[in-house]
Structure 1
Amino acid sequence: MEAADTRQEILIQASRLFKRLGYRATTTREIAKAVNIKQPSLFHHFPNKKAIVEEIFSLSLNEAAVRIENACRTAGPASERLHQYLVWDLSTLHRMPIAMSAIYTGDALKSPELAELAEKLKTFYRSLEDLISQGIRSGEFVDIDPSLGRLMVASITIAHLEYAEEATIEDPDRLAREGADFVLRAFRKT
């Protein structure tokens, strides 16, 4: 296997183990075994388990954080900006071979060693709440607590991640649009 392929396979297998066993219970020895490499080879790619989670997390959140922040600062209807963001996000997540749901729903972000990642996620969530608040203020969205709105969006995203991890997705863009449409129907005033 090429080094880049091995690195990708480490991320894939580690994410699956995190989903099945949890972050704390998964060892680097188990990850190496799942990839069919020796533990020292694993350490050639990642110095520790924390670095693996950081890489997985960055794959899903770094660009998303930039895009949601841009959506907050861009002019135009909040509903269109939220919809465009969600289509991009869900479509991107559907194309990832990594079991991303485990990072967001499992025990990883509760670990003190990953507190910095948990803080990045909170910052992302604040931006999402800001965009929802903009939609409420403009009269596009129902009057909902933005924190609850953010939880609703996060729940739909997690549902999409879990679905993508179990199903074969023929058209990730269509599925992403359907998910974004569903969210917007929940927020829009009738």
Structure 2
Amino acid sequence: MQRQVLFKRCLSHWAVVTNVSRSSVDKLLSVLRTEQHFSFLPKSYKTLLETPRKVSTIPVNPGRYYGFNLLKGITSSLDSLNVQFQSGEVVLKMYVGCDGLPSSKSTNSQFWPVLGKLKLKGADVFEIGFYHGTSKPENANEYLHHFYTEISELMVEGFQYNGSLIKIEIEAFCCDAPALSFIKCVKPCGSYFG
């Protein structure tokens, strides 16, 4: 059972990382399912990737925020690295990045992703959350609330992974100067004199 779950995770990770078309993933699943060993695989990429049927977003003025599952992002990153820990309790450090991106030149629409990366060699960046609105979020605390709720639990309580208790520490926030001043709730450089 554990090997089946790991294989499904690896296959879904491969499908996302290699940017394979949905129809190709469906065809691959169809071929694999003909073998009895792989009968546990789903028929569709939607089920394999656990694509939600309905996305619930949180209002964050003046837009909306979608929070991914932070624990799932961390465990997917660990699975893709095939990490095995020697001790029973491990502290993993992670980087967090925030930045504002225009969605197009013709509108004021903006994306503000929150991204994470474990401080492990070869670790991939994973999504923590995405904000979309007509301008940057009005309140940094509201923007980061979902992340704060999840990371607080992982820092204090930790989680079990392959027989080890993993606790998370934030190594650094990786942001450009305007984004960093926004999340720290301080005035940006030069705002007083120029």
TM range (shorter): 0.3 to 0.5
Choose 1 or 2 for highest CA Rg: 2
Q: What TM-score, normalized by structure 1, do the two folds share?
A: 0.36
Structure with bigger strand share is 2
| Higher RCO (CA 8 Å, separation ≥ 6 residues) | 1
- TM value normalised by structure 2: 0.36
| Greater share of residues in helix | 1
